[in-house]
Chains A and B, each alone.
Chain A
Amino acid sequence: MKNRIFIVGLIIILGFLAIAAIAPQIVPCDPEAQDLYHVLEGPSRQHLLGTDDVGRDLLSRVIMGTRPTLFIGVTATFLSSVIGVLMGLIAGYKGGFIDMFIMRLTDTFMCMPVLIVVLALVAVLGPGIKSVIMAITFINWTSFARIVRGEVLFARELPYVEAARAMGASGLRIIFFHLLPNVTAPVIVTASIAISGNIMLESAVSFLGLGAQPPTSTWGNELRIGYSYLEIAPLFSLVPGALITLSVLAFNFIGDGLRDTFDPRLSNTLLNKNVKKSEVK
């Protein structure tokens, strides 16, 4: 069951990625061409999803919006995982004061309300895709650091890590050859779930008007403008909203599926299977 959900999530994400990759080629109309005689229209043969408040083709804008949305979600997650993994490796391997310092730092970050910090940072850095990525990375690396540190604390006591120390291996060598491979699985799982969170965050920031600036379209931007015309042109906000939901769900499915394969202890399905088997017997 979980496996099927994983496949569904994967197909959806691959679909989105494909659309994002060839977006300029498949858009039916120019996403930035305005047509002020046909604003806020319903679906028609020419505009399959209707038009927005300045008469641009909604379908084309939503397709083009796939790009920045996914780009921000994936890039911010990648950057925060790189920073988080490095910090976690250092904290776990070095221990002592450095460990305490990094962990208290992550505690501090985790106390702060995410959306408010991101909004404040974007306001300071100036709205735009780059600052959204930076702001999300800034707040998001801590969860990676914590997970990696926990894994490293376990892994550094493993006999083969000690064997490497006895051989005279340097700290860097131990960290990258012996400890890092041990943390990849939980990091991948966390990352796939973090992407969905970051897409939500990006949409929220865009919805509040601080994300990618017009005329660039992101799903959050579309949602914000469409929201004011909810009664006249419901598709204007429903479609981007549904797309956000769909991508978030899909990344969550992937994350769940990955976790089940990498760490079967946490999965509910396995437990359920065992229960059923014992019932049959």
Chain B
Amino acid sequence: MNANLMLKVNKISKQFPVYRRTVFKKKIGALNVLNSVSFDIVKGETLGLVGESGCGKTTVCRTIMQLEPLTAGEIFFKGERLSMLTKKELRQVRRHMQIIYQDPFGSLNPRMKVLDIIGEPLMIHKITSSKGEYKDMVADLMMMVGLNPLMSSRYPHEFSSGQRQRISIARAIAVKPDFLICDEPVSALDVSIQAQIINLLEEIKDKFSLTYLFVAHDLAVVHHVSSRIAVMYRGEIVEIADKDNLCRNPKHPYTKALLSAIPVPDPKERYKDEHALLRGENNDLLDVPSGCRFYPRCPFAMSLCYQKRPVLNKGNHHEHLTACHLHQES
């Protein structure tokens, strides 16, 4: 296996059973949240993951963090198969893999001081035992993310959402991880603060030579931070490519639609290129169409799309891959 490989996600699927409660629980169906999702992340790169709400972005993060068991497939982190690890080994792996959450209000315990929130991973992984060193380390971390160390005895509700997100970042980098999952870290923030947080994330990335999985639903943000971008639709990756390749030359109709939805600041430039508008909505998750999942909304749907499900063709790491019959010559 490639030594440069940080994370390998191999055909993971996740189903949530749907029950109807009569006298006994009766399984009436399954929600296919992830369907055979595969991607690789090499050391030092940032993979952006975009898609509309409910398409499974967060579930991908949660399964990688082993917070949610997989239905099928496997995840390798630095060559180690995560589902095979014991509890103890998993705790060691978690030292190298951290996550930043979307909601800066919910992800911090309101009853703990900032000192203990940021220091909690240090305690869990027993990085320091002396109280003075612990306080120094937390103070360093706070400075690193642009917070005043004097604020360490305050509670989360005394901070703004941007500052809270800085606290989450400090907590995530406290154990000096190699791999950081950012689950929509800026979606809940104001635009001006988004920029600050993104700059902070990039700064930290350089400082600790981190690898990111950056999840967002805003293509502009993802394009700015990522080196490669994967587009998800209803639990599947429909297109994955280098960011410039993907943005200049999108192949999948869904990616085109996403790109065309980015607002253009200059009114003269607006509506210049073809405007791939989407029909319909992302409807009932239980009612999965046969064939391509996107065909009910696709402007280019052909008869083949109704019958056969397109798969992401296999290729090298940097190849432009898409799961669409329009681009598959097989």
Chain A residues proximal to chain B, CB less than 8 Å: 158-160, 162-170, 173, 177-178, 181
Complex contact A164–B65 (CB within 8 A) = no
Partner of B103, one of A159, A164, A178: A159
17 A-B pairs in the complex with CB atoms less than 8 angstroms apart: A159-B103, A160-B107, A162-B67, A163-B171, A164-B120, A165-B67, A166-B94, A166-B98, A167-B98, A167-B121, A167-B124, A167-B171, A167-B175, A168-B95, A169-B124, A177-B120, A181-B111
Q: How many angstroms from the CA of A170 to the CA of B94 in the assembled complex?
A: 12
Residues of A within 8 A of B121 (CB): 167-168
Name the interface residues of B97-154: CB closer than 8 Å to any CB of A.
Answer: 98-99, 101, 103, 106-109, 111-112, 120-121, 124-125
Residues of A within 8 A of B103 (CB): 159
Complex contact A166–B67 (CB within 8 A) = yes
Q: How many angstroms from the CA of A162 to the CA of B171 in the assembled complex?
A: 14
Complex contact B108–A166 (CB within 8 A) = no
Nearest A residue to B99, CB-CB:
A166
Complex contact B120–A169 (CB within 8 A) = yes
Nearest 6 pairs between A and B by C-beta?
A159-B106, A168-B94, A168-B91, A159-B107, A181-B111, A160-B109
Interface class of chain A by DSSP: helix
Complex contact A177–B112 (CB within 8 A) = yes
Residues of B within 8 A of A168 (CB): 90-91, 94-95, 121, 124-125
Q: How many angstroms from the CA of A181 to the CA of B111 in the assembled complex?
A: 7
Residues of B within 8 A of A181 (CB): 109, 111
Nearest A residue to B95, CB-CB:
A168
Residues of B within 8 A of A162 (CB): 67
Query: Smallest Cβ distance from B263 to chain A, in angstroms?
Result: 30
Query: Smallest Cβ distance from B243 to chain A, in angstroms?
Result: 27
Name the interface residues of B202-254: CB closer than 8 Å to any CB of A.
Answer: none
Query: Smallest Cβ distance from B269 to chain A, in angstroms?
Result: 40
Nearest B residue to A162, CB-CB:
B67
Query: Smallest Cβ distance from A152 to chain B, in angstroms?
Result: 15
Residues of A within 8 A of B108 (CB): 160, 163
Query: Smallest Cβ distance from A275 to chain B, in angstroms?
Result: 31
Q: How many angstroms from the CA of A162 to the CA of B107 in the assembled complex?
A: 8
Query: Smallest Cβ distance from B72 to chain A, in angstroms?
Result: 22
Q: How many angstroms from the CA of A166 to the CA of B121 in the assembled complex?
A: 10
Query: Scoring B residues 250 to 287 as 1 if CB is less than 8 Å from chain A, else 0, what string do you get?
Result: 00000000000000000000000000000000000000
How many residues on B have C-beta within 8 angstroms of the other chain's C-beta atoms? 23
Complex contact A163–B124 (CB within 8 A) = no
Residues of A within 8 A of B106 (CB): 158-160
Query: Smallest Cβ distance from A187 to chain B, in angstroms?
Result: 15
Residues of B within 8 A of A158 (CB): 106
Residues of A within 8 A of B168 (CB): 163
Q: How many angstroms from the CA of A162 to the CA of B91 in the assembled complex?
A: 14
Nearest A residue to B92, CB-CB:
A168
Residues of A within 8 A of B120 (CB): 164, 167, 169, 177
Q: How many angstroms from the CA of A164 to the CA of B107 in the assembled complex?
A: 9
Residues of A within 8 A of B94 (CB): 166-168
Residues of B within 8 A of A164 (CB): 109, 120
Complex contact B91–A166 (CB within 8 A) = no
Query: Smallest Cβ distance from B222 to chain A, in angstroms?
Result: 22
Complex contact A166–B124 (CB within 8 A) = no
Complex contact B112–A173 (CB within 8 A) = no
Residues of A within 8 A of B112 (CB): 177
Q: How many angstroms from the CA of A15 to the CA of B124 in the assembled complex?
A: 46
Nearest A residue to B101, CB-CB:
A159
Residues of B within 8 A of A177 (CB): 109, 112, 120
Q: How many angstroms from the CA of A181 to the CA of B112 in the assembled complex?
A: 10
Partner of A166, one of B65, B109, B111, B125: B65
Query: Smallest Cβ distance from B181 to chain A, in angstroms?
Result: 9
Residues of A within 8 A of B90 (CB): 168
Complex contact A178–B109 (CB within 8 A) = yes
Residues of A within 8 A of B124 (CB): 167-170, 173
Query: Smallest Cβ distance from B116 to chain A, in angstroms?
Result: 8
Residues of B within 8 A of A160 (CB): 106-109
Q: How many angstroms from the CA of A159 to the CA of B164 in the assembled complex?
A: 14
Query: Smallest Cβ distance from A89 to chain B, in angstroms?
Result: 16
Q: How many angstroms from the CA of A12 to the CA of B98 in the assembled complex?
A: 53
Residues of B within 8 A of A159 (CB): 101, 103, 106-107
Query: Smallest Cβ distance from A212 to chain B, in angstroms?
Result: 40
Residues of A within 8 A of B175 (CB): 167
Query: Smallest Cβ distance from A85 to chain B, in angstroms?
Result: 16
Interface centre among B90, B111, B125 (most CB of A within 10 A): B111
Query: Smallest Cβ distance from B155 to chain A, in angstroms?
Result: 12
Known: A163-B107, A168-B124, A177-B112. 15 other contacts (CB 8 A): A160-B106, A163-B99, A163-B168, A165-B67, A166-B65, A167-B175, A168-B95, A168-B121, A169-B120, A169-B124, A173-B124, A177-B109, A177-B120, A178-B109, A181-B109
Q: How many angstroms from the CA of A169 to the CA of B103 in the assembled complex?
A: 20
